[in-house]
Structure 1
Amino acid sequence: MTNEIELFEVREPAIQTIPFVYNSPHSGRRYPSTFLDESRLDEISIRRSEDHYVDELFSAAPRFGAPLLVAHFPRAYVDVNREPYELDPRMFSDPLPPYANSNSARVAGGLGTIPRIVAENMEIYERRMPLTVAMERIESCYKPYHACLRRLIARTHAMFGFGVLIDCHSMPGNIRVAGSGLKPDFIVGDRYGTSASAELSQAALQFLEDLGFTAVRNKPYAGGFITEHYGRPARGLHALQIEVNRSIYIDETTLEKRSDFDVLAGSLAVFMEQMAEFVADYAGDRALAAE
């Protein structure tokens, strides 16, 4: 795969001026031809798990002084928002190594590090694959991606004394908040208060609502492996997951952008600017910098 596509890129500002790192791990849309040959799905169906164009929605990050890390490999190929070895034994012709986690809820749902399905429970593969295929993807894509993300976060923390990771995602348009029927435009996830300060989460919700959106916290998406793994508020490292409802910016059948796509991107640029100003105002507050 490494010969077919560029794996990922960091879109850097000329100078990093704010303690933020933006990350788009699921918007990759460069599908290796060998992977497509192995799949039983057509070219539209295989894309159902993408966070479609999320890298473009948050493309203003470097303009405000923050790096934006963007995956080019697709989520259906390897999912970096998982533990490195969340593997489904049903997918492979060889036994899994003892360190593999085959019992997680994500594996059970077909959405491990090497996904078995895309959205709507569509099976990706015709047959089992050699375990070496999974290990190659983990070594060539997963591990370099996380090494890069760790460097960006460590650099940011060293420069500013604290850091904020914004993990950018999208969600299907039919998502509802349990018990209310509410269809949110955005979900802000902070792992139920463990990956970021309450002040930061509340600020994100307020800014989105002030922009005219419906925003909720943690339900049904509280944040995945990346948010959980990198968010350490006690050390001054905060991680928020932002989920955007796809139905407000693409046609979910054709995957084409809606006419007001650029309007949403502009609103998110305002949101990013407001978040930067909020953190600058509260940089000395122990509730945000280190709890």
Structure 2
Amino acid sequence: MHDGDDETPARADRDDMAQSGGSIPGLARAAFTVQAGRRAGLPLLIAVPHAGRAYPPAILDHMRDPGEAMVRLEDRHVDAIARRVAEKTGAAMLIAQAPRAMIDLNRDPGDIDPAMFRGDRTGMVAGARSLRGLGLFPRRLSGMGDIWRGSIPAQDAGRRIGAIHAPYHGCLGRMLADIRERWGEAVLLDLHSMPSLVPVDGGGGPAATHVVGTRFGRSCSGDFAAAAMHMLEQGGVEAAFNRPYAGGYVLDRHGDPRGGVHAIQLEIDRATYLADDHAPREDGVERQAALIADLVHALAAVARERAARAQAAE
């Protein structure tokens, strides 16, 4: 199984600001797109790993209920918010085009359920998440059962890792390293969406519409988490911290606070920006983009302050 970083550079699409990289097996499409920050820029990268909607025909044919599975697995249209935030702030952006149904970019490449595959399964070892049906290759959803009509050829696992997962994370790592080298500190805002939550105590109070995840403090320094929570509360939203979502593989792999790379996951309630038919609402997208743009500026300010203090101490 191949899980190393793909060193193939991202390809330029239209100009030196927009690029793409990786590839989607079975479809003539890049696995992800990249937009570098404007020249003034920010020490921050927005990444969107779960909003991909480029489905090869063979994947759709193999799904038991494509419509339901896509709605459940995708962070539906949260990339529209990311793009609007990048326009407002000039932040760099990395957006996956490959769908989560094919491979989950927020999972360890070794967390594979061998029972999904047929053929040579050497090296496949089930992890905790894959045994629950949501490993590197999603298998089942609660209330829906198995996503797929049957098993998948084992070689497809390696193809997807090599064409999608490895180049995505290789690109993400290089972008963060570039930001860290330029600014002294780098911030990753890993953007997701979630189903509406219910109040934790089961009472009548409002449920959180945003959840900040930091792997319980392991993926970023506390001043970034404090700034994120403060900004969201100032924005008038109910925000939760690390529960029920603390982040996953993206934060584990790329968050390195001691090395000057700080990674935060942000979950946004889909009801705040999607209509009943799961299409984006312009007012909801704009409202969320304005809120997240303020968050981006707050996190960037913390990064600049930390870098200035470190430089002054040298």
1:68 aligns with 2:93: yes
Correspondent of 2:63 among 39, 43, 47:
39
**Equivalenced residues, count:** 285
Distance 1:149 1:205 in 2: 25
Aligned equivalent of 2:271:
247
2:224 to 170, 193, 200: 200
Partner SS state of residue 64, structure 2: coil
Contact 2:185 2:303 in 1 (8 A): no
Report the Cα offset of residue 137 of structure 1: 0.9
Return the alpha-carbon distance in structure 2 between the equivalents of residues 110 and 175 of structure 1.
23
Mean Cα deviation higher: 261-270 or 132-141:
261-270
The one-letter code sitting in structure 2 at the alignment partner of 1:36 is L
For 1:255-270, list aligned pairs within 5 A.
255-258=278-281, 260-261=283-284, 262-270=286-294
1:230 aligns with 2:254: yes
Which residue in 2 is equivalent to 1:114?
Answer: 137
Structure 1 residues 228 and 281, CA, compared in 2 at 3 Å: closer, same or farther?
same
List aligned pairs for 1:1-291, cutoff 5 A. 1-2=24-25, 3-15=27-39, 17-59=41-83, 60-61=85-86, 63-98=88-123, 100-104=124-128, 106-118=129-141, 120-177=143-200, 183-251=207-275, 254-258=277-281, 260-261=283-284, 262-285=286-309
Aligned 8 A contact 1:13 1:62 in 2: no
> Cα–Cα, structure 1 residues 216 and 71, in superposed 2: closer, same or farther, change >3 Å?
same
Q: Share of identical aligned residues, percent?
A: 34
TM-score normalised by length of structure 1:
0.90
Alignment deviations for residues 58-92 of structure 1 (CA, whole Å, 9 cap, x no partner) = 22225423210000111111101011121112211
> Is the Cα contact below 8 Å between 1:16 and 1:67 reproduced in 2?
no
Q: Which stretch has the larger CA shift, 51-60 or 218-227?
A: 51-60
| Partner Cα separation in structure 1 for residue 207 and residue 156 of structure 2 | 39
Query: How far 1:264 sits from its partner (Å)?
Result: 2.0
Moved over 3 A (4+): 118-122, 174-182
Q: Tell me by how many angstroms 1:283 deviates.
A: 3.1
* Structure 1 residues 169 and 87: CA distance shift in structure 2, 3 A: same
Distance 1:77 1:246, change over 3 A: same
Q: Is the 8 A contact 1:10 1:68 kept in 2?
A: yes
Distance (Å, rounded) in 1 between the aligned partners of 2:272 and 2:278: 12
Indicate how the Cα distance of structure 1 residues 131 and 182 shifts in structure 2: closer, same or farther if over 3 A, else same.
farther
Equivalent position amino acid for 1:208 in 2 = L
Confirm or deny: 8 A CA contact 1:9 1:69 kept in the other structure: yes
Do 2:114 and 2:125's aligned partners in 1 also have CA atoms closer than 8 Å? no
Give the Å deviation of 1:121.
4.1
Q: Which amino acid is 2:109 matched to? A: P
- CA distance 1:11–1:62, change in 2 (3 Å): farther
Q: Is the 8 A contact 1:117 1:123 kept in 2?
A: yes
Residue type matched to 1:14 in 2?
Answer: R
Residue aligned with 1:21, SS: strand
Which residue identity is paired with 2:246? A
Change over 3 Å in CA distance of 1:276–1:79 after alignment to 2: same
Unaligned runs of 5+ in 2: 1-23
Alignment-mate amino acid for residue 193 of structure 1: G
Match for 1:140: what amino acid? Answer: A
| CA apart distance, 1:268 | 1.9
Q: For residue 192 of structure 2, what is the amino acid of its counterpart?
A: H
Normalised to the residue count of structure 2, the TM-score between the two structures is 0.83
Worse-matched range after superposition: 62-71 or 49-58: 62-71
Name structure 1 gaps, 5 residues minimum: none
